[in-house]
Structure 1
Amino acid sequence: MRNTSDPVRNGNNPHSAHVVLTRPQKAGLVIALLIIGIIAILRPMLVLQTIVAVVTLAYGAAIIFRVVLVYAAGRGEHQVRVSDEDARAVPDDELPIYTVLVPAYNEPSVIGMLMTHLGAIEYPRDKLEVILLLEEDDRETIEAAEASISGDHVRILVVPESQPKTKPKACNVGLEQSRGEFVTIYDAEDIPDPLQLRRAVVALRRLGKDYVCLQAELSYFNVDQNRITRWFSLEYATWFRSLLPGLVALRMPIPLGGTSNHFRTQELRELGAWDPYNVTEDADLGIRLARSGYRVGVLHSVTLEEANSDFINWIKQRSRWYKGYLMTWLVHLRSPRATFRQLGWRGLLCLNLFVGGTPLAAVLNAVLWATTLLWFLDRPPIMEEIFIPPYYYIGLFCLIFGNATVIYLNVLSVRTMDRPDLLGTALLSPLYWAMMSLAGAKAAWQLVVKPSYWEKTTHGLHLQEASK
């Protein structure tokens, strides 16, 4: 068996984001920019028309892709369901050892609640291993955890100070010392379904060895805190109830969420575990699982998280996610032939339209909105030259049908959540998209200046709101 995570830690993994752009990628980018620059000097209008055509076609493809995903997931057949009765029917002595990794940093205020939520898990304590992964310099959280721990199945593992200081690095440290046949990750503020571990065991045994991971659904316990948490909840409902099951239905790679993903430990170790340099290590791991021929399922079991309720905090979190998606996209395009050979055309389509397309659309949206506004306000003649038929009509399709489609998906989430009171929030989605554009711009900037910097998300804001 391959060493757990040394290839990743040392930056020798060919899919590691330790170096975001390799020398061949940098050389290709420079050559492409030089060629575009020369053509722009000689034929500037041709370059502008080509850029508009490429962006417009990409937008149209991304919109159609999401519609297809939602349609594919529509019958609800692509979530793995394990009833409460089946989950509890497995005798305790037939359950495997299960490791729960909980990375936390600067989280003293939520550690006590974490212990309560983990204590509600219905799994025999002699088969459960909970490892709290706490950073060496975070004495406050370590002390809070020491005061809250109850039971021999929970232990603190202090992660030595080293770079990069990221969640995936901490998870790799924990994985090296884990004893479980299966392993999962929970964040410090998570409230998992008490039967989730049992459901995962039953499901993975049913599905067979081809399935190495199950992603449980994530939702929020503070939906109604403010408008941002309502938007966030609708977005997550669309993501986990429509888009990810749609990817499963179409046999495409699944960009994993950062928590409640349940793995077979041996295969995870053989794969090289998490990339500590990628700030969305979960999405990257989902692509690497697919490249290795493994399958990922979506488990019908909900973990409740805290939705970001603060604008600045939300921008920090979302820009990190977008940066990591861009990292993952660039990393897996280093060898396009190998990627195509391992993922096939479906996987390559997902990588470009879903993984790369999501943050790129957020970055470009503001530019396209400004262009549209300029057209309606002034109608400069150059706009007619740039937006030539048929790309003008495709762009019009994206503007009208595309925006309406995304709003409709949020309205659909209102229905799946059985929350008609969120309809107004769904119709106000364009304001949320503006926030996404700000986060996308920040992500693009950070990708250049500090790619592996992990911008910490502050948790427990709902507690501050409740205390007012």
Structure 2
Amino acid sequence: MADARWEAYSAHVVLTRPQRFALLGALVLIGVLAVLRPMIVLQVVVAVVTLCYGIALAFRVVLVWASGRGEHRIMVGDEQARAVPDADLPVYTVLVPAYREPSVIAALMDNLSALEYPRDKLEVILLLEPDDTETIDTARAALTGGHIRILVVPESQPKTKPKACNVGLEQATGEFVTIYDAEDIPEPLQLRRAVVALRRLGPGYVCLQAELAYFNTDQNRITRWFALEYATWFRSLLPGLVALRMPIPLGGTSNHFRTRELRELGAWDPYNVTEDADLGMRLSRAGHRVGVLDSVTLEEANSDFINWIKQRSRWYKGYLMTWLVHLRSPRATVRQLGWRGLLCLNLFVGGTPLAALLNAVLWATTVLWFLDRPAVMEEIFMPPFYYVGVFCLVIGNATVIYLNVLSVRTMDRPDLLGTALLSPLYWVMMSLAGAKAAWQLVFKPSYWEKTTHGLHLPSAPSAPPSEVADVH
């Protein structure tokens, strides 16, 4: 990271020595108490888990409610976006990190060419890896203008997307900078909208997150679930965080920054496998604000089960990393984020992967209760927390399904209603990804599994082997 002030928040070391000692001490204490008073320990663990789960669920409902008025998405009309004379537009840098993506390079050039931004004010940097000669050769053959150039990232560890973006940022000349993935289809006026919005909002806003959606929603059931999830995320949850003045865990693409402030912040942590969420937290800690821009970038929804698990487990692992990193100095965290930011960090950043992981355990106990009704479970679930658990099981799950149905409405896709009602099957996939994320956090914390793109293409294999990079 470029700025020494933020080195303490790097995921290069996931758990610091004090954190390791505290965790080890807690485990030893719980182990001793479990031997001496096993029932009390089980009761306390179940009570804490049930209560936290219920609070996290209620928090999401509050976010959706807070976003309901729709005024927390920053809108710039087409006429406003086009009204700015080309001479008054700033230089805009677009970073496009890509690794082993030769199949989508031609489409990438078409999508970048569709951006309505003067070419003499547009700087596009393709960030490619030296061992990826096929993509390099394909990109060189497909270059469509002098405003697009290839930057081969020097070979070094960690070999990750955020490291490549940091290299690109060092050479960026634009006043504003954004990231697009190789398969992205940004709305043509998005850069102009971002310029108008950031100028209107003033220097307090350093970043705008555009909405992400999918161009292959109808490919299969997984892509339909994925599209509903993204609609809830970008149209309800993130605007809800904005409404409540909370930190915004950024998406990995289509976030538009003021370049100077991004550099001052230290840019992306190359060791965090969801560097975007971490950067959103650091923006908030530095006192900067983030908005949600009403402009859509279309991406490729992951359509293969194995590939989806790899991608989602990496996201969950990165969220857990970010959660642990920003809890290293609790006093500083509370001072910089405030109680609102602390709620977001614990209930949203940490709570998202933890809930996915715990779901499988909670479902198993529910099934066991209905099958056998073991007496020990009546002792473990003390009455107040038993009723909280039943509420989460019945009302909570129904509410989450309803939120997916609400996304069906906001997307104006009534044909996805059946997919929304089948959401519990998607939650099983999330639990599998959560379990894998927890395992990798312990044994392979900085292991980066690359998501394979181009699976929507007719010639793409159904389950291609993944390309991975171990940053150690």
- Give me the TM-score of the superposition, normalised by structure 1: 0.97
1:12-161 alignment runs, 5 A limit: 13-161=7-155
Per-residue deviation at 1:6?
A: 3.0
Question: 1:110 is paired with a residue of what secondary structure?
Answer: helix
Q: Which amino acid aligns with 1:287?
A: M
SS for the counterpart of 1:77 is coil
Q: Is the 8 A contact 2:108 2:184 kept in 1?
A: yes
Q: In 1, Cα distance between the equivalents of 2:136 and 2:191?
A: 26
Task: Note the C-alpha offset of 1:239.
Answer: 0.1
1:181-220 pair list within 5 angstroms: 181-220=175-214
Structure 1 position 7, deviation (Å): 4.3
Query: 1:121 and 1:131 mapped to 2: Cα distance?
Result: 15
1:392-431 equivalent positions in 2, closer than 5 A: 392-431=386-425
- Which of 300, 319, 327 aligns to 2:294? It is 300
Q: Partner residue of 2:353?
A: 359
Q: What secondary structure is seen at the aligned counterpart in 2 of 1:69?
A: helix
One-letter amino acid of the counterpart of residue 249, structure 1: A
User: Amino acid of the residue matched to residue 320 of structure 1?
Assistant: R
Alignment of 1:452-463 (within 5 A): 452-463=446-457
Query: Are the structure 2 counterparts of residues 12 and 86 from structure 1 closer, same or farther at C-alpha, using a change threshold of 3 Å?
Result: closer
> Are 1:226 and 2:224 counterparts?
no
Distance in 2, Cα, partners of 1:12 & 1:176: 17
Q: Please name the residue that 2:470 is paired with.
A: none
Q: Distance in 2 between the 1:114 and 1:177 partners?
A: 21
- Secondary structure of 2:292's aligned partner: strand
Q: Secondary structure at the match of 2:458?
A: helix
Q: Aligned pair 1:374/2:368, yes or no?
A: yes
Q: 1:235 aligns with which of 229, 234, 257?
A: 229
Secondary structure of the 2:383 match is coil
Count of aligned pairs: 462
> Any idea what the Cα deviations from partners look like across 1:240-259, whole Å, max 9, x if unmatched?
00000000000000000000
RMSD: 1.2
Q: State how far apart, in whole Å, the 2-side matches of 1:366 and 1:323 are.
A: 17
What code does the residue aligned with 1:133 have? Answer: L
Give the aligned residue type for 1:60. Answer: G
- Paired with 2:268 and 2:182, the residues of 1 have a C-alpha distance of 19
Q: CA deviation at 1:466?
A: 8.5
Q: What residue ranges of structure 1 are gaps of 5+ in the alignment?
A: none
- Aligned residue number for residue 167 of structure 1: 161
One-letter code of the match for 1:59? Y
Cα distance in structure 2, aligned partners of 1:442 and 1:348:
26
Which residue matches 1:6? 2
Residue 338 of structure 2 corresponds to residue 341 of structure 1: no
SS in 1 for 2:447: coil
One-letter identity of the residue aligned with 1:67: V
Distance 2:134 2:412 in 1: 40
Q: CA deviation at 1:464?
A: 2.8
Q: Residue by residue, what CA displacement relative to the aligned partner does 1:140-197 show, whole Å, maximum 9, x if unpaired?
A: 0000000100111000000111111110000000000000000000000000000000
Residues in 1 aligned to 2:392 and 2:151: alpha-carbon distance in whole angstroms: 50
User: Quick one: which amino acid aligns to residue 70 of structure 2?
Assistant: G
One-letter code aligned to 2:2: D
- Alignment match of 1:276 (pick from 243, 253, 270): 270
| Change over 3 Å in CA distance of 1:12–1:257 after alignment to 2 | closer
Within 2, Cα distance between the matches of 1:359 and 1:57? Answer: 17
Task: After superposing the two structures, state which structure 1 stretch, 287-296 or 32-41, moved more.
Answer: 32-41
3-state SS of paired residue (1:82): coil
Q: Check whether the contact 2:454–2:460 (CA below 8 A) recurs between aligned residues.
A: no
What do the CA deviations read for 1:338-377 (whole angstroms, capped 9, x no partner)? 0000000000000000000000011111011000000000
What is the alpha-carbon distance in structure 2 between the residues aligned to residue 252 and residue 341 of structure 1?
A: 14
AA matched with 1:285: L
Question: 3-state SS of the aligned residue for 1:74?
Answer: coil
**Structure 2 CA distance for aligned equivalents of residues 403 and 207 of structure 1:** 38
Q: CA deviation at 1:467?
A: 10
- CA displacement, residues 36-70 of structure 1 (integer Å, 9 cap, x when unaligned): 11111110000000000000000110111001000
Is 2:312 the partner of 1:321? no
Structure 1 counterpart of 2:134, one-letter code: E
2:172 corresponding residue in structure 1: 178
Closer/same/farther in 2, CA of residues 467 and 43 from structure 1, 3 Å limit: closer
Find out whether 1:445 has 2:439 as its counterpart: yes
In the TM superposition, residue 465 of structure 1 has moved relative to its aligned partner by 6.5
Measured in 1, the distance between the counterparts of 2:38 and 2:135 equals 57
Match of 2:173, SS state, is: coil
Query: Which amino acid counterpart does residue 419 of structure 1 have in structure 2?
Result: R
Residue 185 of structure 2 aligns with an amino acid whose one-letter code is I
Distance 1:353 1:444 in 2: 17
Give the secondary structure class of the aligned counterpart of 1:463: coil
SS of the aligned residue for 2:336 comes to: helix
Give the SS at the match of 1:131.
strand
Aligned 8 A contact 2:2 2:267 in 1: no
Task: Name which of structure 1's ranges 458-467 and 226-235 shifts more when overlaid on structure 2.
Answer: 458-467
SS in 2 for 1:263: strand
In the alignment, is the contact (CA less than 8 A) between 2:163 and 2:270 conserved in 1? yes
User: What is the one-letter code of the residue matched to 2:403?
Assistant: L
CA distance, structure 1, for counterparts of residue 402 and residue 428 of structure 2: 18
- How far off is 1:413 after superposition? 0.3
Note the residue ranges of structure 2 that are not aligned, 5 or more in a row: 463-472
